Structure 1
Amino acid sequence: MQTLKTVMSPHVKVISPEATISEAAKQMRDGGFGMLPVGENDRMIGAISDRDLTVRALAEGKSGNTKIREIMSPGIVWAYESDSVEEGARVMSEHQVRRLPIVNSEKRLVGIVSLGDFAVESADLHAVGATLSEISVPAFK
């Protein structure tokens, strides 16, 4: 069984909800990230993605000084590093997310898995295609 630990990227950063969206955009650009978990009091409380920056900030005329808390996606789903790749794909499909934070047994953030990681690292390209198809179904009309 291939675990999420074998396909995850260990290079993940957390950003404060009090940081600005400009700071988030710069961290994403500099790190090549499309999503940052938002952490407060040693807990993940949400996430901010490049899509949030576009749809919830730029399209709404927010300034670069807007706090992440105002536009982040609240709540966050995650998986354990010991979970199978299939379980990670199931969670991503169920919640329609393209990036999934990975925690260890102490629930400490240790990495992140993207749909692209599955495509590069997984031998089961059929499962990758099925996951992408399920993630891409519109959540609302």
Structure 2
Amino acid sequence: MKVSEAMTRDVRVANPDEAIQFVAKIMAGLDIGALPVGENDRLVGMITDRDIAIRGIAEGKGPDAKVSEVMTSDVQYCYDDQEIDEVTENMADIQVRRLPVINRDKRLVGILSLADIALTGDGQAGEALSGISRPGGEHSQTI
């Protein structure tokens, strides 16, 4: 199955100049934990609720801090024409629960989450989750 068959297409995109409080309200309203960040029709980052908490609030930044100050700019992504099993394996390896989806013209066309993968019913989400949940990743809190 291709990523395009499972991904969420209707994706809200944050702007790097928006305030983190504004983006946090959008996340709360949509009941999501991450948004792609785009500028000039290009994907430039991802912002998560964790970024806001750890790189924002914990670092003393206020609600008016810009998304660009706390977002992850080293964005991992997948292509809409990739196979789900390949992407799921990659998600486990890099320990992420969601990936922005771009087309071959590098335009954002959706987002793929573990929930999207679980809805395919092929068992791939469980495999990804076991890899994502292993201790010691880039964002690990263990010392």
* TM-score (norm: length of structure 1): 0.89
**Structure 2 equivalent of residue 28 of structure 1:** 27
Residue 127 of structure 2 corresponds to residue 133 of structure 1: no
Residue equivalent to 1:14? 13
Across the aligned residues of Structure 1 and Structure 2, the Cα RMSD in angstroms comes to 1.5
Aligned length in residues? 138
**Structure 2 residue identity aligned to 1:135:** I
Counterpart secondary structure, 1:24 = helix
Q: What stretches of structure 1 of length at least 5 have no aligned partner?
A: none
Q: What does residue 115 of structure 2 align with?
A: 116
| Alpha-carbon offset, residue 20 of structure 1 | 0.6
**Structure 1 equivalent of residue 77 of structure 2:** 78
Report % sequence identity. Answer: 41
Residue segments in structure 2 that go unaligned for 5+ positions in a row? none
- Distance in 2, Cα, partners of 1:91 & 1:130: 11
- The code of the aligned residue for 2:24 comes to A
The 2-side partners of 1:40 and 1:136 are apart by 31
Distance 1:12 1:26 in 2: 15
**2:44 match: secondary structure:** strand
